[in-house]
Amino acid sequence: MNDESGIFLSAVGMIFSLDAALWEIVGLSLYISLMALFLASLLGLPLGSLLAVTRFRGHFFLSILLNAFMGLPPVVAGLFVYMLLSRSGPLGLLGLLYTPSAMIIAQTILIFPIIAALSRQHIENMNREFDHQFSSWGLGLTSRIKTLLWECRLSLLTVLLAGFGRAIAEVGAVMIVGGNIEHMTRTMTTAIQMEISKGNLELAMALGLTLLFLALSVNFMAYSLKAYANRQMGGAL
Amino acid sequence: MILPLKLENVCYQHQNSRHDDRMEALKNINISFEAGIKTVILGPNGAGKSILLKLCHGLLEPTEGHLYWNNLSPEEIRKNQAMVFTKPCLLNRSVWENLDYVLKLQKISREERDKKTTDILNRFGLSALKERAALQLSTGEQQRLSFALALSFGPTILFLDEPTANLDPRATATIEHLVLQAHDQGTTIVMTTHDLLQARRIADRIIFIDEGRIIEEGNATSFFAAPKSPEARDFLCGRLSE
């Protein structure tokens, strides 16, 4: 048996033996990314909806800004949050640097533009289709947004999955603001980076395989949801 | 009673942002719609029929001129009218849920909504389809549901923008029957169509539009027997000879 296949088999063994160190890291990664997804959705979906159904001063600039920030480099987001939360920063008193909270903030900043910009696109398309009908029914702004969010629910779920995918696979920002502290801020991506540098390839491989499995699961869910939506819409999507 | 609806010197211009010029879609429209009359708006493609309907229904604002309803508040005016579009616009929900949604907008209680939804579905022959996804219905069934949604508001005046344009003869006959039934129950009908035979079957009054202007207007029987304007004569001849 050569080295590579030995590492691979050990990694698989670690996953199935429910290695405590491995699953602690996986659990923390999921917690941070899901919390970031929740917060980014809370902010991004209403903003995306507003941009989709209203026009106001600065609308064009805000739309461009959101689109541009979809490609925000994680290290830049990390640096921004670091400066904000560092002891001399404006929010330094909160003592959040090198805690999971700081990592959640950084990931929220990273995926918020993705959720806002992509949801705006979906909702805008739907609103264009329903505009006259909704006006005819006398829908106000709030009812219109609520109805559009519900009508776009399946497309928006794929947007949320895209946001989650970005968060869970991100390494730069969480490394800067989390510090990769064992039992506290160590996530899958930061751990992989560290274990490779230490030469502990079994654990790095086990984490990599788990991350790959999560990424595949996210894509599988997105694909299944689209197929389900297509069936629901009678093949209209 | 919100009728009559009067349009005085109404113009509508499309803004062509690419060339920063304006395209006049309706020019100096002076017309009124009285209660209880079935009006059909006829005219070639691009004549401005749909725009006229959307202006009347309040979906578009005239660039010049005014619309006068019979001294009611904007909210009352809105509540007393409804519109059926060429392409059915339905929510991605079941037939029942579509109707329930529209009744909920009218702030009707849960119990009353359930009763009313059952009544409307029976009246429009949609009871057997109530659990089906609205978007999986045939186009004819979808248009019937659109019609039911519009009539659930109990409108005094119903605007119909070529409601049978995409339907087969059987579905067309069903919609025409529903239009006449709504009229018999007291709803004033204003409808656009390309179908001259349909216009003959439905209209009490014809408004003929060409290039954004009202060319001719009057009693349907007289219009089809002896159109006064050369444009209407050409239109009828061209159409009837097809």
* pLDDT tens track for B75-88: 888 889 999 999 99
Q: Is B158 helix (H, G, I), strand (E, B) or coil?
A: strand
pTM over 0.90: no
DSSP H helices in A138-187:
141-151, 153-168, 172-178
Record: contact B91-A147, CB cut-off 8 A: yes
| Whether pLDDT at B241 is above 60 | no
pLDDT at A76: 94
DSSP summary character for residue B4: P
Percent of chain B residues past pLDDT 70, beyond the cut: 95
Query: Are the Cβ atoms of B85 and A133 closer than 8 angstroms?
Result: yes
pLDDT exceeding 90 applies to what percent of chain A? Answer: 71
Q: Is the pLDDT of residue B110 over 80?
A: yes
Query: Which has more pLDDT, A231 or B134?
Result: B134
Asked if the Cβ–Cβ distance from B57 to A137 is below 8 Å, we say no
Decide yes or no: CATH 1.10.3720.10 for domain A7-228.
Answer: yes
Per-residue pLDDT for B55 more than 90? yes
pLDDT value at residue A5? 81
Residues 6+ apart with CB under 8 A from B118: B127
Cross-chain CB nearest to A129 (options B58, B59, B89): B89
Backbone phi, then psi, for A209, in 5-degree steps? -65, -40
The set of long-range contacts for A8-15, using a CB threshold of 8 Å and a minimum separation of 24, is A8/A205, A10/A202, A10/A205, A10/A206, A11/A202, A11/A203, A11/A205, A11/A206, A11/A208, A11/A209, A12/A206, A12/A209, A14/A202, A14/A203, A14/A206, A15/A206, A15/A209, A15/A210
* The predicted structure's pLDDT at residue B17: 53
| Chain B CB within 8 Å of residue A138 CB | yes
Amino acid symbol at B105: L
pLDDT at position B128 is 94
pLDDT, mean of residues B180-209: 94
Mean pLDDT of B129-145: 93
Per-residue confidence band for B242, with pLDDT thresholds at 50, 70 and 90: very low
pLDDT tier at B73 (50, 70, 90 boundaries)? confident
pLDDT band, residue A14 (cuts 50/70/90):
confident
**pLDDT band, very low/low/confident/very high, at B7 (cuts 50, 70, 90):** very high
Domain limits, chain B:
5-240
Which has the minimum average pLDDT: A1-10, A123-132, A172-181, B131-140?
A1-10
Average pLDDT over residues A196-209: 90
Share the mean pLDDT of chain B: 90
For the structural domain made of B5-240, what CATH number should be given?
3.40.50.300
| Least confident range of A8-22, A49-63, A85-99, B205-219 | A8-22
Which tokens hold the place of A64?
Answer: 């461009």
B20: confidence class by pLDDT, cuts 50, 70, 90: low
| Chain-centroid distance, C-alpha B51 | 11
Sign of CA dihedral B182, B184, B188, B189: positive
Q: CA distances (Å), A139 to each of A4, A133, B105, in order?
A: 62, 9, 8
Which of B82, B91, B136 faces A136 most closely, judged by CB atoms? Answer: B82
* Beta carbons of B10 and B26 less than 8 angstroms apart: yes
> Is 50 exceeded by the pLDDT of residue A236?
no
CA distance A191 to chain B (A): 44
A151 touches chain B (CB under 8 A): yes
Residue of B80, B89, B92 to mutate for A, most A C-beta atoms under 10 A:
B92
Closest partner residue to B135 (CB to CB) among A136, A143, A233 is A233
Q: What is the mean pLDDT of residues A90-119?
A: 96
ipTM for the predicted complex comes to 0.90
**The pLDDT value given to residue A234:** 56
> How would residue B239 be classed by pLDDT, with cut points 50, 70 and 90?
low
Q: Do B82 and A236 touch (CB under 8 A)?
A: no
Q: How many CB atoms lie within 10 A of CB B109?
A: 11
Is A123 a residue whose pLDDT tops 90? yes
Mutate which of A122, A129, A133 to disrupt the B interface (most B C-beta within 10 Å)?
A: A133
Asked whether residue B15 carries a pLDDT value surpassing 80, the answer given is: no
A129 touching B (Cβ < 8 Å): yes
| pLDDT above 90 for A79 | yes
- Cβ count near A60 (within 10 Å): 11
pLDDT number for residue A98: 95
Read off the pLDDT of residues B157-188 as tens digits, 9 standing for 90 and up: 999 999 999 889 999 999 999 999 999 999 99
Q: What is the mean pLDDT of residues B186-214?
A: 93
The candidate with the shortest Cα–Cα distance to A53, out of A137, A125, A113, A159, is A125
The DSSP H or E segment spanning B199 is: helix B196-202
Best residue in B89, B132, B147 to probe A by mutation, most A CBs within 10 Å?
B89
Q: How far apart are CA B39 and CA B187, in angstroms?
A: 12
Provide the terminal-to-terminal Cα distance of chain B, rounded to the nearest Å. 42
Q: Which residues of A touch B101 (CB under 8 A)?
A: 147
d(CA A89, CA A87): 6
